[in-house]
Chains A and B, each alone.
Chain A
Amino acid sequence: GNSVTQMEGPVTLSEEAFLTINCTYTATGYPSLFWYVQYPGEGLQLLLKATKADDKGSNKGFEATYRKETTSFHLEKGSVQVSDSAVYFCALTGSARQLTFGSGTQLTVLP
């Protein structure tokens, strides 16, 4: 079946530091890949997505590139802010259109 392996946290960074959260996946066919963000006590919000190989998703300074050859979709941001503190989930949809999630990475950004 499909699976997503995500970098374990928690991750603590200083403001303006560079962020990378690793995500690799196992799936058959041509999955779509997503990053979701969850702020405390809330549901998940879509951060960015990519639907085919070599696509780059981007939003709010975050980027991730769909790498089929390495089955990866790493999340990056050049300069994090305190307001980026949240839990980040990597996910994919397969042929059954179910979302399969990684375990989440807690990010804390210190001023």
Chain B
Amino acid sequence: DGGITQSPKYLFRKEGQNVTLSCEQNLNHDAMYWYRQDPGQGLRLIYYSQIVNDFQKGDIAEGYSVSREKKESFPLTVTSAQKNPTAFYLCASSTPGRGRENTEAFFGQGTRLTVV
């Protein structure tokens, strides 16, 4: 079955550590996205990538880094520079439709990161 997989589901980080969240998709989608969700709030865009080896900062990129070496994979690293990393992280992918139509995004199940 095609889908988008995030791992791990739960992640604990000590202060000052970098951690990497995995996101893999087998939908053959060109675009991939990382969002952060805080309790009771909407989603904020961290980074996105429209094509392999290219990515752009979203609204809250500070303290995060990404890579897009393969079409299927878009890992997110939460660095020690991110001062408040405890949140729910969601990865998504999408692909352009024909003409003006934009297709919907498919989401992974999320990774809950907690700083201990």
Contact = CB atoms under 8 A, between A and B. Distances in A.
Whether both chains belong to one complex is answered with yes
Given A98-B48, A99-B92, A101-B42, A42 B110 contact: yes
Interface residues of B, number: 29
B100 A30 contact: yes
B96 A43 contact: no
Contact of B33 (A30, A31, A98): A98
A97 B43 contact: no
B63 interface: no
A46 B96 contact: no
A26 to B, nearest CB: 15
Contacts of B100: 29-30
Interface string B24-50: 000000010101000011110100101
Given A43-B110, A98-B33, A101-B42, A51 B90 contact: no
24 contacts: A6-B42, A32-B101, A32-B102, A34-B104, A42-B109, A42-B110, A43-B6, A43-B107, A44-B43, A44-B92, A45-B107, A46-B104, A51-B102, A89-B42, A93-B94, A93-B104, A97-B50, A97-B102, A99-B45, A99-B92, A99-B105, A104-B40, A104-B42, A106-B40
Contacts of B31: 97
Given A89-B43, A99-B43, 16 more contacts: A32-B102, A43-B6, A43-B110, A44-B90, A46-B104, A46-B105, A49-B104, A89-B42, A94-B102, A97-B31, A98-B33, A98-B48, A98-B58, A99-B45, A101-B43, A106-B40
A56 B84 CA distance: 40
A97 B105 CA distance: 9
Given A30-B100, A51-B101, A99-B105, A43 B48 contact: no
A103 interface: yes
Interface in A67-86: none
